[in-house]
Amino acid sequence: MIIDVQNLVKRYDKLTALNHVDLQVQPGEILGLLGPNGSGKSTMINCILALLQYDRGDIKVFDQPMTANSYALKQRIGIIPQEIAVFEELTVQENISYYCGLYVHDRQELKVKVQQAIELVGLEDFIKFYPKQLSGGLARRLNIACGIAHQPELIFFDEPTVAVDPQSRNHILQSIKQLNQQGATIVYTTHYMEEAEFLCKRIVILDHGQVIAQGTPTELKDMVKANEKIILEVPLLTAAQQQVLQQLPAIQHIDYQNQSLTVTSKDLEQTLLPLLECLKQQKIVYANIHTQQISLNDVFLTITGRQLRD
C-alpha cells in the first residue's frame, strides 16, 4: 500500500474538516481526489504529508507511519502545488536543478535527472528563460518539472492545469500519464471532470469532510443508475408540462434551462418513444433532438447536488 489512511479526523475549533475518513492508494495507480471547494481535499493531503496535525486517525505512507520528521519518506514524494513555486531570479534550468539538488547530491546524476525533467515537460527551448518570460502554460510546466525532477515514487498534483492554454494542458496531462507509466503513483486533484476521466483509474469524491463515493469512472456512473441523456431544443415548456414528462417510465430526471430540455434516462430504448409521444400529446414543439452519454460531471451533480466548480 502506498497510502493508507484510517479513521482520520481533523477539526478547526467547531468545524470538522475531515470526519472519520479512510483512504487507500495502491501502487502504480492514478487516484483522482475530487470535491467542491471546502470539501476537505487540501486538508487531507496536508495531513498525509504531515504538514498538519490531526485529531485522530492513522496515516501510513509506503507502509510506514508518516510524521513531521519522516525525512526518508518525504524524499520519495513529489508535490506540485496549485501556486507557481519557483525562484524568479533563476532560469528554468537553474530552478529545476535547485529543487532536484535538494534530493540528489551526485553531480552527474543531478545533471541527468534535470535534463530528463526538462524533456518530460517539453521545456528544451526555454532552459535559459526566467519565469517572468514564460507564458502561463510554460510556467506550469516548470512548476511540474521542479516537483518531479528527483523522480519521486509518489506525486501529488494539485490542479496543475488551472488557467493554461489547450496545448500546455494536453502536454501536462500526457506528461502525467508518462510519469505513471514510468512507475510513479499519483494523487490528482482537479475541478475538471474530463481530466479525471482521462487520467484516473480510480476516483474518490469528498464532500463535507467525508468520502461520499469512490470507484472507477465506470463504477461511479453505474452508481447513479442513469447512463444516457436525451437533449432537445424546446422554445416553451411550462411547469405543468415538466411534471407530466417527469412521470414517464425510465426517466430519472429532467432539466429545462435556456430553452433546452435534458432528460436523463436509465434506459434509452424505453424512454425515447414514450417521450416523443408525450411531447406530441402535450403539443410541445421541439427540435434538434440528440442523445449523450452521462458524464462524471453528471455523476457529481447527482451525488452532491451541486456543480464541482462551485
Tally of CA atoms within 13 A in the half-sphere of 159 that contains its CB: 15
Cell numbers found for residue 134: 514564460
pLDDT at 306: 54
Looking at residue 251, its pLDDT comes to 87
Q: Beta-carbon neighbour count of residue 269 at 10 Å?
A: 9
The answer to whether 59 touches 47, Cβ cutoff 8 Å, is: yes
Please report the pLDDT score of residue 250 as a whole number.
Answer: 80
* Verdict on whether the full-model pTM lies above 0.95: no
What are the DSSP calls for 177-189, one per residue? HHHHHTT-EEEEE
Between CA 144 and CA 47 the distance in angstroms is: 22
**Interatomic CA distance for residues 48 and 272, integer angstroms:** 48
Q: Pick the closest to residue 157 from 180, 135, 133, 182 (CA basis).
A: 180
Look at the alpha carbons of 200, 173, 138, 122 in this order and tell me if their dihedral is positive or negative: positive
pLDDT at 158: 94
Q: What is the pLDDT of residue 3?
A: 98
Output the nine-digit C-alpha cell for 88: 524568479
pLDDT averaged per 10 residues in sequence order, the chain, 310 residues: 97 93 97 90 95 96 94 95 95 98 96 98 97 95 97 96 90 96 96 92 94 93 76 94 90 90 85 92 93 83 62
All domains of the chain, ordered by start, with CATH? 3-222 (3.40.50.300), 225-293 (3.30.70.100)
DSSP letter at 247? T
